[in-house]
Chain A
Amino acid sequence: GNSVTQMEGPVTLSEEAFLTINCTYTATGYPSLFWYVQYPGEGLQLLLKATKADDKGSNKGFEATYRKETTSFHLEKGSVQVSDSAVYFCALISGYSTLTFGKGTMLLVSP
């Protein structure tokens, strides 16, 4: 079956630090990969996606590259802001499945 593994949180950073949140997956077929973000008190929002190997998704300064050889989709941002504090979810969909989410990684950014 499909599964997503994310690094445990919380990840605590100072403003302007570099961010990496690791995500690896197991899937049948050729999955599409996603990062969702959940700000406090809100539902999840799609942050970025990649649909095939070597694709790079990007949005709001965040990037993630679909690495088939390592079955990974790590989220990166060069300089985080306090407003980036949220929970980040890696997810995949494959074939006729529904979305499979990781457990989420909380990011806390201090001024």
Chain B
Amino acid sequence: QSVLTQPPSVSGAPGHRVTISCTGSSSNIGAGYDVHWYQQLPGTAPKLLIFRNINRPSWVPDRFSASKSDTSASLAISDLQADDEADYYCQSYDKSLSGSLFGGGTRLTVL
């Protein structure tokens, strides 16, 4: 099944830690394909946040981390800050689709 499932929303207080899950299947994450994560601030285009499962571009602080296991991946954001409020998307490749697949997105609210 060509679907990446994310929770619609997560929230946390400033300074706290949240995690966002991304659950796939044997045709995408479970087939060994890499997972990338994107951050979309309100009213802007998505921006690469994590690439190849665990790697951060130079502009991304180390408060952001990610992991991948079996058919799922996870993004963790520690020391939450107000400007982390955004939508977060996971992405992988799906062999049934022969193309990219995005998760449904998770809206992070910093309380």
State whether these chains interact.
Answer: no
| B binding-site residues for A, Cβ under 8 Å | none
